[in-house]
Structure 1
Amino acid sequence: MRESLERMLAKGVDNSLLRFGLGKAWLDEGNGGEAAVHLRRCVEFDPKYSAAWKLLGKAHQLQGDKAAARLAWEQGLEAARAHGDKQAEKEMTVFLKKLDKAVQ
C-alpha cells in the first residue's frame, strides 16, 4: 500500500489524505522518522486534522522525542476540541497522561 501512495506522491498528487495515509503506513512499519515527515505535512495542509496530530505524536514518541510528541498531542487536542472530535480528544488526553507518568 505504501508503495502505491509513494507513486502517487511522485506523480505530483499531494494532499492531506495522501500524507495521512503515507504517515500511517510508515508508522505501521515502525519508522517514526518517515511517518513524522508525512504527518507534519498533513497537518500543514489541514491543521484541524486531529487524527493526523494523534499519529504525529505517536511518530515522535516512537523516535523517543517526548517533547515533540507532547506538542503534537497538545495541538491535536486544540484541533479535536475545535472540531468536536471527542474520540481523538479522549485518546490524546490519555497519551499525554501516560507521557506525564513516564516522565515522573
Structure 2
Amino acid sequence: MSLIERFEALLAGGKDNALLRFTLGTEHLKAGAVAKAVEHLRAAVAHEASYSAAWKALGKALAESGDAEGAKEAYRRGIDAAEGHGDKQAAKEMAVFLKRLEKAPPAV
C-alpha cells in the first residue's frame, strides 16, 4: 500500500484534519496529480486558515495547474497567515513566489 493509499484510507475512515489533508495534497503534488493536490490543500486551509505551509503548497499546486490568479491569492493569504504566526521565512518565500507570478507575462 502506497503512502497516498494509506492516507486516503485514514480519510475514508473518518479522520479529516488539516495535517492529513496537507500531507495528501503534498504527496499528490509530488506524484503529479495536481488536481487532487489542489482539492486536498484547499481542504487543509479550510480546516485551518492559519496553516501557512498549506497555503504555500496550495499556491504551488495552483501555479502548476495554470491558475496564476488563484496561486497569487493563495500566496497572499499564506503570507498573512505566516506573518500572523511570526513565521518570517515562510512569508519571505511566498513573497518571492508571488512576485515571480506578478512579473510573469499573462498566459495567452
* 1:64 paired to 2:66: yes
Which whole-Å CA distance do the structure 1 matches of 2:71 and 2:27 have between them?
18
Match of 1:28 in 2: 30
TM-score by length of 1: 0.96
TM-score by length of 2: 0.93
- Amino acid in structure 2 at the alignment position of 1:80: A
Structure 2 gap segments, 5+ residues each: none
Q: How many residues align?
A: 104
Match of 2:19 in 1: 17
* Cα-Cα RMSD: 1.0
Which whole-Å CA distance do the structure 1 matches of 2:89 and 2:8 have between them?
29
Which whole-Å CA distance do the structure 1 matches of 2:38 and 2:6 have between them?
19
- Post-superposition Cα deviations, 1:13-43, rounded to whole Å, max 9, x if no partner, equal 1001100000000111112211011011101
The alignment-based identity, stated in percent, is 51
**Which runs of at least 4 in structure 1 moved beyond 3 Å after TM superposition?**
none
Matches within 5 A, 1:1-104: 1-103=3-105
